[in-house]
Structure 1
Amino acid sequence: MEEVIHIYHTNDLHSHLEHWPSIHKLVAERRRWHEGAGDEVFVFDIGDHMDRWHPLSDATRGKANCRLLNEAGYDAATIGNNEGITLPFEDLDSMYLEKDFELLVANLYYQDGSRPKWAKPYHVYISNSGTRIGVIGITVNFARFYDQLGWKLNDPIDELKHCVEKLKDETDVIILLSHLGIHDDEMIAGMFPEIDVILGGHTHHILHEGKEVGSSLLAGAGKFGYYTGHVTLKIDRDTKEILHKKAVLYDMNEADQAQDEREMAEAYFVEGKELMAETVAILPENLTADPLQHSELSKMLTQALREWCDADCAFMNAGMILKGLKQGNVTKFDLLEICPHPINPCTIRMSGAELKEVLLQTRDEKWPHLQIKGLGFRGTVMGVMEYDGIEFQPKGNYTQIFINGKLIEAKEHYTLAIPDMLTFGRFFPEIQRAEEKRYWLPEFLRNLIEWKLATL
């Protein structure tokens, strides 16, 4: 006799709630079907369900995302970097207090070494046939950022090893919820043959029929709710041996749509907008913005960046500002709309020689139209570079650079303020190599705009 276990999974929704009503409908209907047939059903989310670009997520600090998972009947979830490092400590620590599911994240601790009461490393489910199913959650190792926010994040592989050692003799099936990315998932499959299924996220990989690595089946459902994953396990009821594994993805653009899906998704947005209606400033005139032009708004943010970080100088790409602000009341929603990125200020201490090299690179003609994806960026193009405390003056065949009116000196050291996005990509090698970096958490760039507007 065979036992059938159905596992539905989502990952990296990033608060793109356009298809959430249909995902909710799918997992609820499938649960009824399968349970009616006597099969087991589990529904898991693999992290980054929340993203603070969406007003409902930002206004509720992720609590609305927890509510949505509750309403859809999820059994367990893990956290991604958007839950973990884009929220202040107090907000993450309270986000899941009203959850109806298991929150699994083996490598997250308070700094005193204890675990949050709302999280645990794994959970063991017992099926109606007595099959013991161990489910583990781990998240990507951005320990430096967690530490600055007041958390302790351990190495996920070390924590996974402890969990597998504990579960391998106490369970019949082990499932991993991994917000580490496809390359780590493949490595884990080779290191831990005891893990039967790895449900992945973080790198937004799409595995239409899964991927077998060693004895593990890997699955991933892309991003933004475009797909919902479904893994089916067939297990011998007596021996508990897995007889068959299968993975498929359902395209939510082609799936049976929830009634009034668009209206429901719009209602989530309107709910968040109303929660963010607080006025933060009153403008006497419009402040325009254009990524391909220098503007008062992008200049203001660059100045705020330098002042907030008490830096010698700053530069920023104008593409950070998506649109201008209109005369009159400016609300928290307006600031979210023009600057939706989960990007923090960052300062770098570097020599004048290194800084000069970086600043000369910023004048490359490729930057304004360069299209950017990832790195927390929610815009489209890099845009022109705005500077504060920095001046370029041509002299003969070369360019002189002045920092606060003084010619840059090669052996002097300067503190440069930039958006943290510019430290992650391959934009500026000197910045990537720099050892003295400070990330200013938990403030986003839009918080600096709010702060600057209040001083005008």
Structure 2
Amino acid sequence: MTTESILTIMHTNDIHSHLENWPRIRRSLLDQQRNLKTGVNDVLTFDIGDALDRVHPLTEATLGTANVALLNQANYDAVTIGNNEGLSLHAEQLNHLYDEANFPVLVANFLDAKTHQRADWNQGVHYQQTADGTRIGVIGLTAQFDDSYPLLGWDVTDIGTTLDKILPTVRANSDVVILLSHLGINVDRRIAQRFSDIDIILGAHTHHLLEHGEMVNGTLLAAAGKWGCWIGKVSVRLQEHKIIAKTARVIQTDELPQLPADELEIAGYEQAGRQQLRADKVADLPQALLRSDHSLMQDALKMVQEKTGAPAAMLSSGLFLRDLPAGIVNRDDLLELLPHQMHVMTTSLSGTELKRLMQEVHKNSGFLRGFSLVGVGFRGKIFGELVFAGLAYDERLDQVYYADEPIVPTGEYVIASLDYYKFLPFLPTIEIAGINEIMMNNNLREDYALYLAKHYRLAVNVKE
């Protein structure tokens, strides 16, 4: 008699520390595991990266280890990482993020730049057998970000080259091959066209939602949107360990039952994070730093100038989500002020290129002032107004002044700003013509904390 079984694959992606959804996600995953693991039928559970985001106080306070502890509750079989795990943590922090994980972490294209080997926490590929003996091979891959990862000591290798190297072995040792892809929908489609040995691609990164999956060249693509608003569910019918059918769907999280204890649990995550952050005092301001009188902006501009040594700096007013009142400043204050994931950057330009940049600023300023922005590390609402220190543009004379001197076309000029301006389409001169150096040793919030601690020192007994 022919043996048939059903393999159910539950998957989450791009939760980004939206822990308001976590109690229902966890319950749903555990219910599926409990109800569908019967006889020869089995359930596998995967997360496809960006589970954490330092915008949440608990993630910021614990550098993501609290998020890993939550994943441990839901019996994940394996996870991969996204850019929030890979880029928002220093290498040493990432190397210890998964110390207490009860699941393997798979990022086959993520290597230590010095050793050209995977770190101890990174298994790359994972094999396991289901209840009926079907062999499952799981590969994890993450997006490259060639401008940023090398600065943190990571070498993220080419996707095609990586799959060419490992896929034949995985295929030879597996009845079903699953790719955990934090690469984005367009890359997933290209992989499916090129690598027919992959049976299922569980996607992430571009926050795409495939409510009923998508079949490309015989490979099933599945993805569950963003923020834990959906949970993915793939059903695979197997006969003698071979796939005879595969389908995908999603479960809408806010349609799942909510228990009275959920709100208390969710509030507890935020409270625990804020309590830890508030205990970490940074500075003592003699007077408030405000958005309204530009004192906050001027202070931040001085910070990026001081960090880089550049005579000129540029920042946008939408970065600052609150004021800093006089008195003690703690890390929770700074998280509320600057929740973004971005870094200080210097850009070197010729005089001609700098003039073009200032013309781009002038042309786009009216639009950008109220432009609603999402992504590229920005966690605010609007872009705001670009403000300068040591740099000015006289529209009437069409003249740019750098450190109070008129620029010359052949001169070389350095301005300090943030890496996220490089990734936006409104100031193309920065990316196209600039020689850009991103300073990844700290994020913007951490740099500002160091600046405040230096210039507005705490009394010795305040920390005690």
Q: Pick the TM interval, shorter chain.
A: over 0.9
Residues 1:134 and 2:133 are matched in the alignment = no
Residues 1:71 and 2:73 are matched in the alignment = yes
Residues 1:378 and 2:379 are matched in the alignment = yes
Deviation for aligned residue 1:191: 0.6
Q: Is the 8 A contact 1:294 1:386 kept in 2?
A: no
Q: Is the 8 A contact 2:40 2:132 kept in 1?
A: no
The DSSP-based 3-state class of the residue aligned with 2:255 is coil
Residues 1:55 and 2:57 are matched in the alignment = yes
The DSSP-based 3-state class of the residue aligned with 2:238 is strand
Identify the match of residue 100 of structure 2 among 78, 90, 98.
Answer: 98
Counterpart CA distance in 2 for 1:452 and 1:137 is 39
The DSSP-based 3-state class of the residue aligned with 1:336 is helix
The DSSP-based 3-state class of the residue aligned with 1:362 is helix
Q: Which residue of 1 aligns with 2:33?
A: 31
The DSSP-based 3-state class of the residue aligned with 2:209 is coil
Q: Deviations over 1:200-228 (max 9, x none)?
A: 00000000000111110001111111000
Residues 1:411 and 2:410 are matched in the alignment = yes
Query: Is the alpha carbon distance of 1:116 and 1:258 closer, same or farther for their aligned partners in structure 2, counting shifts above 3 Å?
Result: farther
Q: Which residue of 1 aligns with 2:247?
A: 246
Residues 1:453 and 2:452 are matched in the alignment = yes
Q: Is the 8 A contact 2:353 2:433 kept in 1?
A: no
Q: Which residue of 2 aligns with 1:264?
A: 265
Letter in 2 for 1:106: A
Identify the match of residue 214 of structure 2 among 211, 214, 238.
Answer: 211
Deviation for aligned residue 1:37: 5.6
Counterpart CA distance in 1 for 2:21 and 2:164 is 36
Counterpart CA distance in 2 for 1:442 and 1:141 is 19
Q: Which residue of 1 aligns with 2:399?
A: 400
Counterpart CA distance in 2 for 1:120 and 1:160 is 15
Deviation for aligned residue 1:294: 6.0
Residues 1:366 and 2:350 are matched in the alignment = no
Q: Which residue of 1 aligns with 2:275?
A: 274
Query: Is the alpha carbon distance of 1:152 and 1:194 closer, same or farther for their aligned partners in structure 2, counting shifts above 3 Å?
Result: same
Counterpart CA distance in 1 for 2:43 and 2:371 is 45
Residues 1:17 and 2:19 are matched in the alignment = yes
Counterpart CA distance in 2 for 1:393 and 1:181 is 43
Q: Which residue of 1 aligns with 2:347?
A: 348
Identify the match of residue 172 of structure 1 among 170, 175, 195.
Answer: 175
Q: Which residue of 2 aligns with 1:6?
A: 8
Deviation for aligned residue 1:298: 1.7
Counterpart CA distance in 1 for 2:254 and 2:305 is 44
Counterpart CA distance in 1 for 2:259 and 2:27 is 6
Counterpart CA distance in 2 for 1:258 and 1:244 is 36
Letter in 1 for 2:333: D
Query: Is the alpha carbon distance of 1:267 and 1:359 closer, same or farther for their aligned partners in structure 2, counting shifts above 3 Å?
Result: same
Letter in 1 for 2:411: E
Counterpart CA distance in 1 for 2:316 and 2:434 is 23
After TM superposition, the structure 1 = structure 2 runs for residues 283-432 of structure 1, keeping only pairs within 5 Å, are 283-289=285-291, 295-363=294-362, 364-393=365-394, 397-432=396-431
Counterpart CA distance in 2 for 1:37 and 1:256 is 28
Deviation for aligned residue 1:82: 0.7
Counterpart CA distance in 2 for 1:413 and 1:402 is 13
Q: Which residue of 2 aligns with 1:185?
A: 188
Q: Is the 8 A contact 1:143 1:154 kept in 2?
A: no
Letter in 2 for 1:384: E
Q: Which residue of 2 aligns with 1:199?
A: 202
After superposing on structure 2, the runs of 4+ consecutive aligned residues of structure 1 that deviate more than 6 Å are none
Deviation for aligned residue 1:262: 2.2
Letter in 1 for 2:344: P
Query: Is the alpha carbon distance of 1:161 and 1:258 closer, same or farther for their aligned partners in structure 2, counting shifts above 3 Å?
Result: farther
Counterpart CA distance in 2 for 1:60 and 1:391 is 41
Counterpart CA distance in 2 for 1:30 and 1:105 is 26
Q: Is the 8 A contact 1:138 1:160 kept in 2?
A: no
Counterpart CA distance in 1 for 2:287 and 2:21 is 38
Cα RMSD over matched residues?
1.4
Counterpart CA distance in 1 for 2:116 and 2:244 is 40
The DSSP-based 3-state class of the residue aligned with 2:302 is helix
Structure 1 residue runs without a partner (length 5+): none
Q: Is the 8 A contact 1:25 1:258 kept in 2?
A: no
TM superposition score normalised by structure 1: 0.96
Counterpart CA distance in 1 for 2:264 and 2:382 is 30
Counterpart CA distance in 1 for 2:39 and 2:256 is 22
TM superposition score normalised by structure 2: 0.94
Deviation for aligned residue 1:433: 0.4
Deviation for aligned residue 1:446: 1.3
Once the two structures are overlaid, the 10-residue window that deviates more, 446-455 or 86-95, is 446-455
Q: Is the 8 A contact 1:311 1:416 kept in 2?
A: yes
Q: Deviations over 1:224-258 (max 9, x none)?
A: 1100000010000x2x2211111111111111224
Q: Which residue of 2 aligns with 1:226?
A: 229
The DSSP-based 3-state class of the residue aligned with 1:114 is coil
Q: Is the 8 A contact 1:106 1:121 kept in 2?
A: yes
Counterpart CA distance in 1 for 2:353 and 2:273 is 44
Counterpart CA distance in 2 for 1:437 and 1:296 is 28
Q: Which residue of 1 aligns with 2:157?
A: 154
Q: Is the 8 A contact 2:41 2:132 kept in 1?
A: no
Deviation for aligned residue 1:319: 0.3
Deviation for aligned residue 1:435: 5.0
The DSSP-based 3-state class of the residue aligned with 1:374 is coil
Deviation for aligned residue 1:53: 0.9
Letter in 2 for 1:449: Y
Once the two structures are overlaid, the 10-residue window that deviates more, 317-326 or 33-42, is 33-42
Q: Deviations over 1:354-377 (max 9, x none)?
A: 111112322332121011111111
Of all paired residues, the percent bearing the same amino acid is 36
Counterpart CA distance in 2 for 1:113 and 1:448 is 30
Query: Is the alpha carbon distance of 1:210 and 1:170 closer, same or farther for their aligned partners in structure 2, counting shifts above 3 Å?
Result: same
Structure 2 residue runs without a partner (length 5+): 457-464
Deviation for aligned residue 1:328: 1.5
Q: Is the 8 A contact 1:16 1:225 kept in 2?
A: yes
